[in-house]
Amino acid sequence: MPLCDLRVDLGALQRNVERLSALVSPTPLAAVVKANAYGHGLLPAARALSGHVARLCVYEVDEALALREGGITDPILIFGPVPLQALESAHAAGAAITLWDPGFARQAADTARRRGTPFAVHAKIDTGVGRLGLHPEQAPGALAALAAMPELHLEGCYTHLASAEDLDEGFTSQQHRRFIAATEHALPAGSIRHMAASAAAMMWPETRLEMVRMGIAVYGVWPSRESRLFLQSRAIRGLHDGDPTAGLLEPAITWTTSIAALRELAPGEPVGYGSTWHAPRRALIATLPVGYAEGLDRGLSNRGAVLIDGRRCPIVGRICMDMCMVDATEVPRAHVGQRVTLLGRDGLAEITADDLAEWSGTIAYEVLARLPHHLPRSYA
């Protein structure tokens, strides 16, 4: 019997996509399922989204191959570097790859020539992240060269935005101008330009272009506090009929475990490695069979909380590799085997990915993406 469980509501993913598609309509929406679908499970999430989105986006070749082996036939775009030895596999899977290096483009063309069909590619332009991509000044010539190669099918071109989650749109506008200038006369007719991820697609309509790429929002988590406030402000200013944030995103994941042991402590007794917490009064301490090896960030030590019987109970002491302790003194009916919610809702109380992120000093993206593959997941 598993010591903890991740329950994923696949219907929530579909409902999120339906509402997000309506928000950005008529622009098509691509769903990002990299990083094990942000911890939700690559293949189950992709199957739930299949046919509801314009395409699926992954980071590496192995993710694309897993989707094809799992029966997914939707268009796939690989964001990340593709090893030379994996080009044939990517081509055979019918996945589009990302190009930003002329030498690698020639290798992709050679692969396509050997296999007898064009290779679908998307060119990447670096407009300000400083990570991957063609320089905007070099992009028009490079795009023309790619379009002229019969072995390649230049499906589209894209960039990543550096600060689309900020309310100050200055740098986002600058990146938008750079991208438009680099692509407006250099792409074949019908090419897909895309630059907006979840935050930009919500906040800056001019960045939607021919497709938006949504990741974190598909899983029911706001890309930032600012993005939610921005949409609410549009409603307040009368720019939207009603509050566009109401019911827009529905978290899809619930993470639970159960109480493994209960121990009463006298005032002043310590808990955990390093004795970093001492009972301020007589306390009931619940030991949970979950620690940082199961994805519960050690930064939550003495900062985070869990839900027991609808009550928020603080994590006390240092989180161990496979266990943690919580103060269950305020739970009168606490008992061994009782359900404990680490992420999700219990009655009227809720712990969100944003809560876990704030307590551990990170972002919700990391909280979800770092949920280990080995944790058992159930789907509804």
Active site residues: 34, 273
Cα 128 to Cα 130: distance, rounded to the nearest angstrom: 6
Q: Which residues does residue 97 pair with via DSSP β-bridges, in sequence order?
A: 121
Cα 21 to Cα 117: distance, rounded to the nearest angstrom: 33
Pairing of strands 311-316, 261-265: unpaired
Angle at 148 between CA 144 and CA 149, to 5 degrees: 125
Cα 290 to Cα 132: distance, rounded to the nearest angstrom: 37
Q: Angle, nearest 10°, between helix axes 10-24 and 42-49? A: 50
Alpha-helical regions (H) of 73-118:
87-92, 102-115
DSSP annotation of 118: P
DSSP string covering 145-166:
HHHH-TTEEEEEEE---SSTTS
CB 213 within 8 A of CB 196: yes
* Helix (DSSP H) and strand (DSSP E) numbers for the chain: 12, 20
Question: Rounded to whole angstroms, what are the CA distances from 42 to 75, 160, 218?
Answer: 15, 22, 13
Cα 332 to Cα 48: distance, rounded to the nearest angstrom: 40
Token code pair at residue 374: 């080995």
Q: Nearest Cα to 127, choosing from 167, 165, 162?
A: 162
Half-sphere exposure (Cβ direction) of 215: Cα atoms closer than 13 Å: 25
Token code pair at residue 218: 């598909």
What burial class does residue 230 get, using C-beta atoms within 10 Å of its C-beta: 0-12 exposed, 13-18 middle, 19+ buried? buried
Q: Nearest Cα to 254, choosing from 340, 337, 360?
A: 340
